[in-house]
Amino acid sequence: MLTLLSRLDSGWEPSYRDLVAILIHYIKKDDNVYGNPSAANITVIGDDYYQGTMVFVIPEIGYQPSRFWVTKVDYGSCSGCDTLQAALNSNNDNAIIANDLLTLMLHLLQQMKAT
């Protein structure tokens, strides 16, 4: 898996969903094992307004999952009220941006609940 820094160096512009998917890859025990969270099947719930809350529902890998993980993020329309925009626009140094994205991913993990 590419590091955040190498992705940024190649021109990648992440979304919140991208960061949740990468987070899932970091925390799951093994790839494609039943019972692990599925980064490929994340459902995003949000109203697509200029500000609000996005909820990410992550099912376990497998047919008809019965376990889910949920996390959320509040977002805004500018770098003053949106953490991802602030991280991407506050600095030209990709190493600093990658560190800010890791901090954002930590906050997503801290809010994550299993059902």
Q: pLDDT value at position 93?
A: 93
Strands of the sheet containing 113-114, edge to edge, are 43-45, 52-59, 68-75, 113-114
Q: pLDDT value at position 1?
A: 53
Q: pLDDT value at position 35?
A: 83
Q: pLDDT value at position 31?
A: 67
Query: CA 95, CA 38: separation in Å to the nearest integer?
Result: 28
Query: CA 9, CA 75: separation in Å to the nearest integer?
Result: 25
Residue 78 in this model has a pLDDT that exceeds 80: yes
User: Reduced to 3 states, what is the DSSP secondary structure of residue 4?
Assistant: helix
Q: pLDDT value at position 91?
A: 81
Query: CA 99, CA 47: separation in Å to the nearest integer?
Result: 29
pTM over 0.75: yes
